[in-house]
Every structure is written in C-alpha cells, then in structure tokens.
Amino acid sequence: MNILRVGDSAWAAVTKSSAFVFGLEAAGEDSRVVQWYWGPRLPDEALAEVVRQAPRRIHSGFHDPRDVDELLPVEGGRRWGVPSLQVTYEGGVRSVELAFAEAVVADSEIELVLRDPLGLRVGLHVRVASEVVERWVSLTNEGEHAVRLGRVDSGSWVIPERAGYRYTGVAGAWAQETQVHRAELAVGETTFTSRTGTTSHRANPWIMIDAGDATEELGEVWSVALAWSGSWRLTAQRRPEGDVAVTAGFGHDGPTWLLAPGESLHTPPVLGLRTSGGYGAASRAWHDYARRHVLPTPFEERPVLYNSWEATWFDVHEEGQIELARRAADLGVELFVVDDGWFGGRVDDRRGLGDWWPNPDRFPRGLSKLFDAVRELGMRAGLWVEPEMVNPDSDLYREHPDWVLHYPGRRRDTLRHQLVLNYGRADVREWAIGWLSGLVSEYGLDYFKWDMNRSFTQAGWPEAGERADLLWIEHTRGVYAVLDTLRERHPDLRIESCSGGGGRVDFGILRRTDEVWTSDNTDARDRQAIQEGYSYLYPAGAMSAWVTDSPNPHTRREVPLAYRFHVAMAGALGIGGDLTRWSAEELAQARSLVAAYKAVRPVIQHGRLHRLAGDPGVTASAVQYSHEDRVVVLAYNPFALAKRPPRRVRLAGLDPSALYESAEGERWHGQTLMSHGLELPTWFITGPDYRSEMVVLRRVSG
Ligand code: GLA
C-alpha cells in the first residue's frame, strides 16, 4: 500500500523514505486540492498531523494568492501565480472553476476527480514508483462545445519552507550538452523550456532544489522531472512571500490545443523525488527509478560497440566498412554500427534522407555482404537511421511533399538541408514502421541508432485545421508509437536515442530505448562535464560513450588513448575512431582496455554511482561505481600542477567494517577508504597532462 488515507479527504503517497501528503482543503464550487507535506517519511499515525484543514490565508484583503499550495493551480478565480492549467471555453470564457467530485483509490495510485460545470473533467493522478511520486493529469471534455487548452502541466510541486532556495539544473548547446548550473533561485519565475519539438540541447526537463546547504553527500534535495521528449516547460516560482513551487508539463508558450466534446487528453508524468544525502543520493535514487520503472532492458549488459561516423563521415562503402569491422572485432567489439551514408543517394547531408534502401553504388549487393562479414567476425549488427526527417532532394519528398510540417503559403525552412516529417499522421507512422521493420527482418538487425537532427520550424499540419497545434504532442507520441511497435515486433532489437548528439535524453524516450547518445562532442575532456550533468538523473548503463581519434576531430585536442578510454568507460563503452589509422601499439592498448572494461562492465553499468571529487575535465576528479562485492574507481587528472594536487580520494558508500582488496592484494577497511582515502598515483605525481587510472577493489570480508 503506497497510498494511505490520512483524513476525511487527505491522502499520503508514501515511499520507503519519504511522504507526499495532499488532499482537499476546500470543497464546493471553488475546491482546492493542495499539498500539505513533502518530506521524510513520518510514522503512519503521524501523517494526519501535517494536514491543515482550515484554508490558509496568506494575506487578507486585496491579495489572496490561493494557488500557492495547489496540485494544479488553474487560471481562474483568485489566482495570479503561474497557472498549470489554462482553458478557454465557448465564447471566450477563461476562468476555470473546479468542484471536487470523488477520489478513486487503488493500491499505489489515486485519481482525484474535479469538474468544471462548463463541461471539463479534470483527473489528478498520483502514483508511487519506488522513491518517486509520479503525477499526471487527465482532461475530458464532457461538455457540448470544444474547449481550447493553453498550458496543461502535469502537476505543480511545493518545495517546503526553508531558509533559502537553490536550484541545480543542466543547460547547454550542441556539443556542450548537460552543463551543470547551480544558483540561488531568484524571486520571480524561472522558466526552463524547449520550443524545438524535442527535449533539446539547451536544457533538460528537470530541476533539483535545496535549501542552499546541500552538498554532494549531505542534505535534503527535492527534484522534479518531466518524462517527455517533445517541447516542454518547467517553471520554478519563488514568490516574494517566500513560497516556492515548481510546475512542469509538455508544450510551450504559444500553441493551444483543441479538445472536442467527448475527447480526452493525458499528460506525460511529472516525477517528484525527495531525498536526503545530497545530490549524490538524489542521483542514485533517480538511477534506481530508471532501472526499476523506466528502461526496457535495464539489467542487460550493453555491448561494446563500434560506430563508423567519425572514421568515415559520409564516405561509407562496403569494403571500407568490412575493414573497420575486422579491426573492431579484433579489439573485442561486440556490436558494429554503420552510421549515416549507407542509403539512397546519401553521399553528403544534402540528399537522400527518406530513401531508406542501401545506396546501390556503395552497397551493390545490399547490406548482406557487410552484415554477413560482421556476424562472421562474431559481432552484432546495427544501423543509423533518421526516420523523422526528409531531404527535399529525395524520392520520398518528391512523392509526398505534404508529409512534412508546413503551413500553406509559408516558407519551409530547412536545417542541415532537411525537413521534419509529421509523425502525427498515421500514413507517415505506417510508412516508418514498414521500412524500419523491413530492415530488421531482412538483415536480422540487432540495433538502430535513431537520430533526430533538427528542430521544428513552420510547425503546421494543414489537414488538422484548428487542431493543428496538437502536432507538438502528436509528433512525439507518434515517435513513441513507432518505437513501441518496433520493439513489440522485434523483441531482440535494441535502440539508441540520438538527436544531433544529446538533444533527446529524458525519461520519456528512455522508456523505449536502451541507450542515449549524450553529445556529438567526443573530446574526452569536454565529455567529462557532459557526462557529469547527464549523471544527475540518468544511469551510466544507458549512456553511450565512444573513444575517438586524437587530435579530436571536433576540438583538435590531443588526449592520450588511456584517458579517452577511461572517460568512455564511465558509461556504455563504444569506439568511434578511424581504426585504420591507429598504430599497432594503440590497437594493443585498446584491446587490453576493452578487456578491462568487460571485466568490470556490470559494476559500471548497473552500480551505484558516487561522484567522488573534483571538477570533471578541469581539475583532478573521480567517479566510483559499486555493485555487489566490487568497487570501481575511475580517476582523472587533466592538467599537471606544479603545486601538489590532492593525493587521496575518499571513497563513499562502502561497508565501514568490511575489508576491500585491490588487484595487487592490498587491503583496507571500508572506513579507512572513506575517511582517509585511497592514494592515487595519477593524482600526486605532477605531469604530464591527462593521466587517468581505473582502480578495482573487491570486498573480501564483512
Ligand atoms: C548526428 C549524430 C551523429 C551522426 C550524424 C550523422 O549529428 O548526432 O552522431 O550520426 O548525425 O549525420
């Protein structure tokens, strides 16, 4: 039982360590469903103590902000904060007025039903999934007229009263995704949003808030995340009166959605997580949630993959690919993925997207010869696809110019010479399932890298008339539906989500993909900061990370092979360099590092992550993974310092009284490793730049 009744019309959603208490503060025609508590788990008999039955009055007189504590503050009545729900009824009537109707309770789920007499039914859903409280909203038009929806968020969360408020989030750009930002939450409304039609590189749909006192290992942290892969908006409002609330949902400012009589709309879930133990504990709880409730194959070991993109760019040919496959297999690679350039007339980024058959000049016998060779070398086979896109210079576009997002009489702006196919259309979805599924069957494919390389522009859907803005929802749902159908038809198929790098990383896409590509930037040093931001919410096992060439093609930075490996080994290891140019010595070193990775792969992919120390990519830093009886520490020192850098790294989350043994047979108590630390040669010998190492410990007693 995760949903407990704690009063006449009050409930608690309880997890092992926290409680979220909510209910009806005021009934009748101006009903208010509010949050009373979101904090550490209280004894069951104490839960009722946090329920405040009398309506709270902040101020009397002309300002009475009633929406402060509400689960879904509407636009209507005496409310002036950020509305989570905005509706325009027939005749331009805009004030939503909700009356509580009933509560429908199941074991770990509850729906609170409210109705607006103008015909809108609003369901507030709350469900518990491990430490996370999942919430979403269902709307049904029970009236006789269509209603127009503005903002429809999945829910608003109140951050309990504290002396201060600080937020942590990630922001970035192409090649610089998921950079951690941390600052005091300003009084006012802080909005993070994507208007691109995808999750975007610019921000990721989550926020963490603490009282300004949390550290990596200590302190209460409240996190809110949205499980959605299209445009989104998350607003944290800190009122001058002191309250802080976070509301999040799909869509962004501008588009409005028409709900016809009899129709319903369900929002994606917004997820709330309260933890103690600092940002580290928050991240570990999110990873646990991802593994238990989100990822389709969380406990499968990700294969070491090879991807040919940076080796060949668009210059993809049968013989060249077979040569790369031979070299990759020799290193211990288990999955060979052919990237862009294998299909239609695709010899550069100007043509071919949409024509998903092997390029007859490059693969005169189709892909069979290549994939037969890949299999003979003992590897699995994967292909890059970009199913949501079309180049105007393609047979597909010449045949179906109406399939793309467009408005009559407006330009069709291209980006990277391509347009976006409208996945809201059933014919587009059927076409996609047809050829994607056909490729899997014909070649026995094991893996797709599903890319999405541009933002929406002129996002029209002429056939949908007044409902055209629904595109912002229906495109993403269409993509989800195609992915779901593919997985259903081909249960052994594994899928990587990519969007010009890390433009589509979120709990919505992770429900139907196995890995995500976090950035096109494969420079090991830049990657460290990107990986750190990624790790705040998402688990290492789903993070595809490649070792590429030096100097790096994107930054021209030269980084030793071991450092590049150690950075990529912090996730699902892949190799993406031009192996025909690696020396025999480099190939030998790579072979032994691949073997070393495989030996600890479950620890990294499924283990508990501790970000131990340092500013990744800038100063000496280390990450630790613990799983069953093993502990892996990856330590990095990018820059030599004349001044002595720290010598020891203190480990975390060990059993204090147990003994841990290194590969060399040295033993320490867990408490020693946590309090005194482990001495790292990488850290205390100065120079040269870019030193790294992996330390593996095994628990031998206790
Ligand atoms: C995007 C991806 C890259 C690569 C190219 C191919 O940029 O993020 O990894 O697949 O497309 O065109």
Closest atom, ligand 1, to C-alpha of 500:
8
The tally of CA atoms less than 13 A away on the side-chain side of residue 203 is: 23
DSSP reduced 3-state for 155: strand
Candidates 340, 355, 514, 520; catalytic one? 520
Tell me the percentage of the chain whose pLDDT exceeds 90: 92
Q: Whose CA is nearest to atom 7 of ligand 1?
A: 500
Q: Pick the closest to residue 316 from 382, 354, 363 (CA basis).
A: 363
CA-based angle 598:604:605, to the nearest 5? Answer: 90
**Residue ranges in the chain whose pLDDT is less than 70:** 53-65, 645, 684-685
* Token pair listed for 634: 């990856």
- Give the per-residue pLDDT at 63: 58
Closest CA to 207 of 172, 166, 175: 166
Which atom of ligand 1 approaches the CA of 453 most closely?
1
The residue to mutate among 198, 199, 309, 314, having the most atoms of ligand 1 within 8 angstroms of its beta carbon, is: 309
Q: Is 427 a catalytic residue?
A: no
Q: Residue of the nearest CA to atom 9 in ligand 1?
A: 520
Give the whole-angstrom CA distance, residue 68 versus residue 126: 19
For a ligand 1 pocket test, name from 343, 451, 504, 554 the mutation site with the most ligand atoms within 8 angstroms of its C-beta.
Answer: 451
HSE-CB at 644 with a 13 A cutoff on CA atoms is 6
What atom of ligand 1 comes closest to residue 501's alpha carbon?
8
**Helix (H), strand (E) at residue 246:** strand 244-250
Q: To test ligand 1's pocket by mutation, which of 308, 314, 340 has the most ligand atoms within 8 angstroms of CB?
A: 340
| Beta carbons within 8 Å of 701's beta carbon, 6+ residues apart | 658, 659
Q: Are strands 99-106 and 85-88 parallel, antiparallel or unpaired?
A: unpaired
**59, two tokens:** 């101020």
Q: Is 182 helix (H, G, I), strand (E, B) or coil?
A: strand
Q: Which residue do the tokens 């909203």 mark?
A: 137
CA distance 125 to 141: 17
Distance 640 CA to ligand 1 centre (A): 34
Write out pLDDT tens, residues 81-124. Answer: 999 999 999 999 999 999 999 999 987 899 999 999 999 999 99
Shortest-distance Cα residue to atom 12 of ligand 1? 340
Q: What pLDDT shows up at residue 307? A: 98
- Using the atom order of ligand 1, give the atom closest to the CA of residue 349: 12
In sign, the C-alpha dihedral spanning 599, 602, 605, 609 is: negative
549 an active-site residue? no
Helices 318-331/368-376 angle, 10° precision:
20
* Closest-lying ligand 1 atom to the alpha carbon of residue 449: 10
Summarised one tens digit per residue, pLDDT across range 535-574 is 999 999 999 999 999 999 999 999 999 999 999 999 999 9
Q: Active site residue: 243, 339, 451, 469, which one?
A: 451
What per-residue confidence (pLDDT) applies to 117?
A: 97
How confident is the model at residue 108, as a pLDDT? Answer: 83
- Output the CA 552–ligand 1 centroid distance in Å: 16
Phi, then psi, of 302 in degrees rounded to 5: -75, 135
541 CA from centroid of ligand 1 (Å): 21
Q: How many A from CA of 12 to the centre of ligand 1?
A: 46
Which is it for strands 335-338 and 380-385: parallel, antiparallel or unpaired? parallel
Question: Beta-carbon neighbour count of residue 450 at 10 Å?
Answer: 26
Q: How far is the CA of 328 from the centre of ligand 1 (A)?
A: 20
What spacing in Å lies between the alpha carbon of 519 and ligand 1's midpoint?
9
Four-point Cα dihedral 600, 605, 607, 610, nearest 10: 100
The binding-site residues of ligand 1, defined as CB within 6 angstroms of any ligand atom, are 309, 339-340, 384, 451, 453, 498, 500-501, 517, 520
Are 202 and 231 spatial neighbours (Cβ–Cβ below 8 Å)?
no
- Say what angle helices 524-535 and 561-568 make with each other, to 10 degrees: 10
Q: What are phi and psi of 625, to 5 degrees?
A: -125, 135
Atom of ligand 1 nearest to the CA of 384: 10
Residue 642 structure tokens: 């004349």
CA of 277 to the centre of ligand 1 (A): 38
CA of 170 to the centre of ligand 1 (A): 22
Which one, of 180, 181, 170, lies nearest residue 204 by Cα?
A: 170
> Long-range contacts made by residues 674-681, C-beta under 8 angstroms, separation at least 24?
674/650, 675/650, 676/648, 676/650, 677/648, 677/649, 677/650, 677/651, 678/633, 678/648, 678/649, 678/650, 678/651, 679/647, 679/648, 680/622, 680/635, 680/647, 680/648, 680/649
- Distance in angstroms (rounded) separating the CA atoms of residues 9 and 255: 36
- Residue 516's pLDDT is 98
Q: How far is the CA of 501 from the centre of ligand 1 (A)?
A: 7
593 CA → ligand 1 middle, Å: 26
pLDDT of residue 106: 86
Burial 62-96 (b: 16+ CB within 10 A, else e): eeebbbbbbbbbbbbbebebbbbbbbbbeeeeeeb
Give the residue whose CA is nearest to atom 1 of ligand 1. Answer: 500
Q: Are strands 132-141 and 270-275 parallel, antiparallel or unpaired?
A: antiparallel
Q: Is the peptide bond before 688 cis (omega within 30 degrees of 0)?
A: yes
Report the alpha-carbon distance of residue 176 to residue 168 in Å, rounded. Answer: 17
